[in-house]
Structure 1
Amino acid sequence: MAFFSSVLKRLSRLKSLESDNLETPMKRCLSTFDLTMIGIGSMMGAGLYVLTGTVAKNTAGPAVIISFVIAGFVILLAALCYAEFGARIPQTGSAYTYTYVSMGEFWAFLIGWNIVLEYIISAAAVARAWSGYFDEMLDHRIRNFTYEYITGGPWDHPLLAQYPDWFALLLIILGVIITVLGANLTSKINSFLTILNICTVILVIGAGLNFVNVSNWKIEGGFAPFGISGIMSGAASCFFAYMGFDFITASAEEAKNPAKSIPIAICTSLAVVAAAYIAASAVVTLMVPYYDIVPEAAFVDAFRHVGVKWLMYVVGVGSLIGMTATFLTAMFVLPRIVFAMARDGLLFEVLAKVNSHTHVPVVATVTLGVLAGILTLVFDLESLVEFLSIGTLLAYTIVAAGVLVLRYEPAEAFTIVDKHTNQDTIEMNLKKKDETSPLNSVDSHLHGGEVRKEFNGCRILRNARPGTIPAFAVFIMSIFMFTLAAVIVFCGDALAEARFWVIVIVVIFGSVVLLCFFVLCIHYQNTSIVTFKMPLVPLIPSLSIFCNAILMMNLSYMTWIRFAVWITLGMMLYFCYGIRHSKLAMSLEEENNDLNRYYIMPAEFRRLMATTECDNTK
């Protein structure tokens, strides 16, 4: 029993925040503008020129506009969670770091492990897409040359590409070279490419407005020919067009003023990208009937349809520019996650080394560039692209849950304590803070995590340690949200027919979710946060968790199988290496925490640790 208790403590240990979160071996050189361009560049790539036409023709029709609005709303919920965390914890690592602080080491490793694969596949997929698009503009000369002089014909294997894409490999190498030269240079190149892409999109949309025909929204089923189901399915596809805003938080450790820049950059980039997607989908469906759209090149074919050939080349160049910006941002943030995990000891230490001149984790950049290059060169990435979604959605879910957990932690849980300060001084300072705080009232941050006075009659809620009941409610609510989402997705027909058994299940699961939400509402929040705070907590994070659950349940079973295999590999790595080399574990094992000068934890837990140390010395 003692063994399992020890393992559980190791898995759930929380990362301590240092007294100065701005100290970093990396160079803080990114402005709000740079971060905004990173966000726009990561989201407004090939999806604008390809996904818009694909969803319009095959899934939603002209109602693809509504699909983009719904997807934008769902992604905004997750983005606000990231914005609050990014402002409070300005360190590289994005969802990995946020999970380490709020949920524990094991969950943090799994999230980081999934994000690493997500970014590798993302970089490889965009490089392959860039090469394929460019090759198509050259009438497939690169492919034909490879068939004739290298492979002797296409490869016939379901897991491999039809031919090795050497041009895409060169793009990966070029991306690695640019990235290792420094964040400042990379951000400037990305900003330049993103501005060109924005100008191209404005030109294309503006020119397209001259050829709109409102009757195209009235034929063959009207504005929504595929109905509500088509709009929702389209929203699930459009959701992935917005993926990439978390690249901003992954670069937090190189931001000049992260507390201010990250929320502004996230909201601004999302607004710009959403406007571009909505406007582009409106223009293309007004120029051409939705059933005549060519999904692979919607705008190119639309301008060919109206006889403006010169704009066809503008769209082609704009597509390459947009994909280049997306690829460069993926290569830029990819080593940052690995650096954060290696710095914490969960991955190999060599990956955390930062070059003293460029302030870039060169070893991590080159290593991951090699992995991305191998995937780009020989693998067919179409079957892996869907895998990107499940890891991202899981990260969004954990971050939303983490926001809820930390919002209901007591104020003293975030008091920075020096190791040389004795317990009497700590308690005296906290008491003094209680007495002098201008917020000293029933609703002040000093009551964070406690049940509201109107519900003090319940002994369990009154006697529980502040923050414990809300954290438990978040855990239970998340589980039942996923089960409710599974019932809605997999038993949709029975639900539409109003069958008794499925209605009973939905009512029971929904009641548990609402009960947990009510438990959160009757507890005080910690209002002492001085950086960006998400509005409407706990509503927005709870909605984010449920929306992510719905989208995850719509993924194919093969995606879940691949996800299980990747998770299994990650668990093997963690239990064989990470759990034993964790810097947090080493610092906690040192006498008097010599390696961890500053730490943040509840006062009750500090007393428990002190008592345990006294017992061990006897």
Structure 2
Amino acid sequence: MGWGLPNTASLARFCQKLNRLKPLEESTTETSLQRCLSTLDLILLGVGATVGSGLYVLSGTVAKEMAGPAVLVSFSIAAVASLLAALCYVEFGARVPRTGSAYLFTYRGYSWAAFIVAAGAICAMNTVLLSDIFTLPRIAYAMATDGLFFQVFAHVHPRTQVPVVGILVFGVLMAFLALLLDLQTLVQFRSICTLLTFTFVATSTIVLHFHKSLPASSLGPASPVGTEQASAPEPGQLRPALRPYLGFLGGCRPGAAVAWALGVLVASAITLDCVLVFGDSALHLPPWGHTLLLLLSSVVFLLSLLVLGAHQQQRRQDTFQVPMVPLTPALSILLNVLLMLQLSYLTWLSLSVWLLIGLMVYFGYGIWHSKENQQELPGLTATHGSLEETAQALQPLSQDPAQEPGHTEQPDSP
């Protein structure tokens, strides 16, 4: 029997799976992993991941082959990009304190003391590998517990309470990649992955600020926060003071104009960065074309920023929020994309290959085995059953409406 074309219902269900969101439970901090890190351990882990081998090896390489005398400018730009991304990460960590969040920083930049530099590089690379082995298995554990990754990675050792399978698998994988690839390739690939993560986090921060918060009923009947949120304008709506001037945006449903403006913001940021990086070299634009594209992309970026700022944001007093939204995350997106475009074509090719592998795993396994999908399957069965029962119950009623006393007309729809 040959495969037939998918019908409209199956396509609709597939699109619904793509837009599926995981609801957050109240006890978001519960985990089966052992909590064994002290404050000092977390500080050392963060310093080791931040410093890395770049402090000992890449600083001289960047100064010699790329930045030259402007190496301080390069480090300043990287520091600003890391600061903006860190602010977005802090808000995500405060709102969603779940296992599996990776806090990585990039661009963290030879001399006469070659032995000291080599020894420091070896120690720094070990700290980077140890920090990755600590964080990566927990990301895989969080995905596996949600059903998005293979269930073997959700196994926790009963005595040590660590994801032992993930540690072994990813430890061997990282050792294998470190054996085959040179340091420059590894650093560039890690940098593009980190910058891409920063971009997603900054974009998600904007979404969080304009997303509707929990209803007041879920916060308790006597919750003052719920009362304050119920009386405030709904996030995603046009600010009341601007409705007389921006009436064409007031007719959109809450969040629609924000979604479009955010998409235009990201697209214009990518266009602006591409013109800045490749306008004179790869694109071979004439001076007037280069200036025109710069002007148009900058104007569109600013206009989308103003449209976002014209809408009501979610104000919360119980957790940290990024200041000056949407300006702060928008600048983070702009800088992160600019730094990503400075990397080599081989790095982009490697990212594309790994993204393709990830998409294959998701569409081949994760989308069908996720917890949300398993919860939807009984609901679909119950829905079809209830529709059939309703149709059967209404059928005799529609055949003989006079049997029911007081019945004057049929409803227009079931």
TM-score, with length taken from structure 1 = 0.56
Task: State the 1:459 CA deviation.
Answer: 5.0
Cα–Cα, structure 1 residues 588 and 616, in superposed 2: closer, same or farther, change >3 Å?
Answer: farther
Tell me, in whole angstroms, the C-alpha distance in 2 between the residues paired with 1:77 and 1:436: 30
Cα–Cα, structure 1 residues 61 and 480, in superposed 2: closer, same or farther, change >3 Å?
Answer: closer
Select the residue among 492, 509, 523 that pairs with 2:280: 492
Instruction: Deviation per CA, 1:475-528: give whole Å up to 9, x if none.
Output: 221122112211221113699997222322222222222221111111111012
Counterparts of residues 308-347 of structure 1 (less than 5 Å): 313=116, 317-347=119-149
Farther off after superposition, 361-370 or 581-590: 581-590
Amino acid at match of 1:71: A
Q: Give yes or no for the alignment of 1:437 onto 2:303.
A: no
Cα–Cα, structure 1 residues 459 and 8, in superposed 2: closer, same or farther, change >3 Å?
Answer: farther
Select the residue among 255, 260, 268 that pairs with 1:472: 260
Select the residue among 213, 223, 226 that pairs with 1:411: 213
Instruction: Deviation per CA, 1:242-288: give whole Å up to 9, x if none.
Output: 3xxxxxxxxxxxxxxxxxxxxxxxxxxxxxxxxxx8xxxxxxxxxxx
Match of 2:177 in 1: 375
Select the residue among 238, 258, 263 that pairs with 1:451: 238
Select the residue among 88, 95, 109 that pairs with 2:95: 88
Amino acid at match of 2:315: T
1:93 partner SS: coil
Cα–Cα, structure 1 residues 554 and 63, in superposed 2: closer, same or farther, change >3 Å?
Answer: closer
Instruction: Deviation per CA, 1:408-442: give whole Å up to 9, x if none.
Output: 112236x685xxxxxxxx9xx78x8699735776x
Q: Percent identity?
A: 40
Match of 1:300 in 2: 113
2:113 partner SS: helix
Select the residue among 372, 376, 379 that pairs with 1:588: 376
Contact 2:100/2:135 (CA < 8 Å) preserved in 1? no
- Alignment RMSD, CA only? 3.4
Cα–Cα, structure 1 residues 526 and 32, in superposed 2: closer, same or farther, change >3 Å?
Answer: farther
Q: What are structure 2's unaligned runs of at least 5 residues?
A: 1-7, 391-414
Larger relative helix fraction: 1
Task: State the 1:44 CA deviation.
Answer: 1.5
Cα–Cα, structure 1 residues 30 and 613, in superposed 2: closer, same or farther, change >3 Å?
Answer: farther
Tell me, in whole angstroms, the C-alpha distance in 1 between the residues paired with 2:101 and 2:334: 21
Q: Give yes or no for the alignment of 1:577 onto 2:379.
A: no
Counterparts of residues 30-69 of structure 1 (less than 5 Å): 30-69=37-76
Tell me, in whole angstroms, the C-alpha distance in 2 between the residues paired with 1:436 and 1:531: 15
Task: State the 1:319 CA deviation.
Answer: 4.0
1:42 partner SS: helix
Contact 1:488/1:495 (CA < 8 Å) preserved in 2? no
Runs of 4+ in 1 over 6 A off after TM superposition: 432-436, 494-498
Amino acid at match of 1:580: W
Contact 2:63/2:69 (CA < 8 Å) preserved in 1? yes
Select the residue among 10, 13, 29 that pairs with 2:36: 29
2:324 partner SS: coil
Tell me, in whole angstroms, the C-alpha distance in 1 between the residues paired with 2:15 and 2:210: 23
TM-score, with length taken from structure 2 = 0.81
1:336 partner SS: helix
Select the residue among 534, 540, 545 that pairs with 2:328: 540
Tell me, in whole angstroms, the C-alpha distance in 2 between the residues paired with 1:26 and 1:357: 10
Aligned pair count reads 382
Task: State the 1:580 CA deviation.
Answer: 0.8
Task: State the 1:550 CA deviation.
Answer: 1.2
Cα–Cα, structure 1 residues 514 and 436, in superposed 2: closer, same or farther, change >3 Å?
Answer: closer
